[in-house]
Amino acid sequence: MSNMDIAHEIEHLREELNQHNYRYYVLNSPVISDYEYDQMMNRLIKLESEHPEFFDPDSPTQRVGSDINIDFKQVKHKYPMLSLGNTYNEGEITDFYNRVAKALNEPFEIVCELKYDGASISLTYENGQLVRGVTRGDGTRGDDVTANIRTIKSIPLKIKGDYPPAFEIRGEVYIPRLKFDEMNRERIEAGEEPFSNPRNTAAGSLKLQNSKQVAQRPLDCFLYYLLGENLPSDKHAENLEKARSWGFKIPKEYKVCRTLDEIFEFIHYWDSARKDLPYDIDGIVLKVNDLGQQRRLGFTAKNPRWAISYKFKAEQGYTKLLSVDFQVGRTGAVTPVANLEPVHLAGTIVKRASLHNADFIRSLDLHLGDMVYVEKGGEIIPKIVEVDIEARNPDAEPVKFITHCPECGTVLVRPEGEAAHYCPNAESCPPQVKGRIEHFISRKAMNIDGLGAETIDLLYSVNLIKDISDLYSLHPMQLTPLERLGEKSARNIIRSIEESKKVPFSRVLFALGIRYVGETVAKKLAMAFKSIDRLEQATFEELTAVDEIGERIAQSVIEYFADEKNREIIEKLKKAGLQFELSEEEMQTTSDALAGKSFVISGTFAKHSRDEIKQLIEKNGGKNSSSISSKTDYLVAGDKIGPAKLAKAEKLGIPIISEDDLLNLIGQ
């Protein structure tokens, strides 16, 4: 592969993973399995390690997926809540064990625990009282959901015993299976839609604004990790038992193991016995028992080196393929979906499964009426994994991928080198049009409240909006008579639309939905060209001259502005009053103390977030770069800096400075 092809694949993987992170952590509605996600993540990690020149601090590999919700106050974690590395085979457990043994070169113990399928939470206690409950968020900051946490009866508001003055304890909020089934029966009897699964329901419950509603949900909580300055013991397992004595619900199903054989014995036992548990687990977590050894082993940018999770193989079901539907997404990509005879699988009834693309269907040699094996990869998303050829009816018709868009009838195209088929009718294909509007109003774009997917669908169906510019022509009188909307909702929507006119240019540019122009790229283009008019006139050479703007992005920008329809929409948005050039505040620099200097930042910092440090550098005339090269002037190093970056800086003789050193350079 050429460097350009590698860069394109890395960019594509980052975009895909960011979207899946959003769906999993924010929407609680993932569309791929844990296994597929991990395979994509592992591929990206491999490419980035082999090609450090394409390093990006905002890559999904450098952070934990986010579940941050703007309706809650954001709280910075005292200790980052990092995710665990996942493995699906026992060989990688052996590799993990051997790595730990080699790194420590002394006896050690591994605590094996059940991996609960719920929502992660961190609880802070001061002087024996619960003072705060915070979600994982992006690993650095999370949502303060204390009011909701206080309604969970298994979480003590006060504790007793010889506890430290202040500490954190972390765990998982979950819903027992029987309680979940009972809750769904009540919802069905009341004429409401049943919830999909316990994990998503637990995570969604923590985000409810009304704590009285939360109190009505059968939430429970296991706690499994203690953090603080004055812990009772240097052993993780002993701390768990001490926390149990203080009144916390600590799981009993864990084991301190001293050999690999003991670890595998624990894994094999629970792979079978998990079906008898009253709650869902999807694997086993392994942690080094000694806290001092944990500190010595340290962390990568994303995971602790002293812990790993083993995922159980997904449960399979056997059922019949009834038909295949074809769905169209925002980008025009067409996804086939199998309709199945209902089958009970991993605690839920499965009726549909993803078929991914034409190549996937062809590889299965899938026929209508086939008996198929279905599994929930990662226990969440159903997927057909095998066809029972011997059970096939000789007259069965093969499943054929459609040739025309199921929504608008346009002939589908399959770009060279891509697996997906696309509908090229971007202007008037309903799912694409509505998808672009949904992207435009999203929180990181124009942040227009009150307009969800259902409302967009309603406004589109009654011909009130046909593209993003129509939002700014809406009037409360048009909205009030519509189903599910009233006078108050209509006023709120219009007010939020008006407020969106203050959104800065870089976010407006991101909101336009130009292919391959994500948040970071939009900021770079906005800073480089200052206005939409200058960007529209930019040549291919001018675009690729901008830092980190490659050929694919440049070509996409040119194609976007070459479309007359897109130019018409921008003109309407200009007349509506949106921000299409950088404000004086955005362009203004504080000083030229860092003029001509190039900086790379890495790690976590005590006084500023990574984004705030970037802004400080730019405001004082400096330039941020994503990768270290001979042109880098300084590496700004925080805690847990990546070892590869540190080694490269040392090899090239690049000065390594701290956050305080940087502040001194700019006179703060």
Q: Annotated active-site positions, please?
A: 115
Main-chain phi, psi angles of 75, to 5 degrees: -125, 135
CA angle, residues 609, 612, 618, in degrees to nearest 5: 145
Please report the DSSP string for 524-546 in residue order: HHHHHHSBHHHHHT--HHHHHTS
Which residue in 611, 439, 613, 406 sits closest to 523, CA to CA? 611
In angstroms, the CA 369 to CA 305 distance is 48
Q: How much of the chain is helix, strand and coil, in % rounded to 5?
A: 40, 20, 40
Counted residue by residue, the chain has a size of: 668
In angstroms, the CA 245 to CA 293 distance is 25
Task: Yes or no: say if 112 and 267 are a contact pair by the CB < 8 Å rule.
Answer: yes
Dihedral over alpha carbons 564, 567, 571, 577 (to 10 degrees): 150
Main-chain phi, psi angles of 401, to 5 degrees: -70, 135
Pairing of strands 623-624, 656-657: unpaired
Pairing of strands 307-311, 86-87: parallel
Task: Yes or no: say if 450 and 489 are a contact pair by the CB < 8 Å rule.
Answer: yes
Written as one letter, the residue type at 528 is A
Tokens of 468: 């993003």
Task: Yes or no: say if 278 and 176 are a contact pair by the CB < 8 Å rule.
Answer: yes
Three state DSSP letters for 47-85: HHHHCHHHCCCCCHHHCCCCCCCCCCCEEECCCCCCCCC
**Could you identify the residue written with the tokens 């070892």?**
643
Burial zone of 478 (CB within 10 Å; 0-12 exposed, 13-18 middle, 19+ buried): middle
In angstroms, the CA 492 to CA 500 distance is 12
* DSSP summary character for residue 141: E
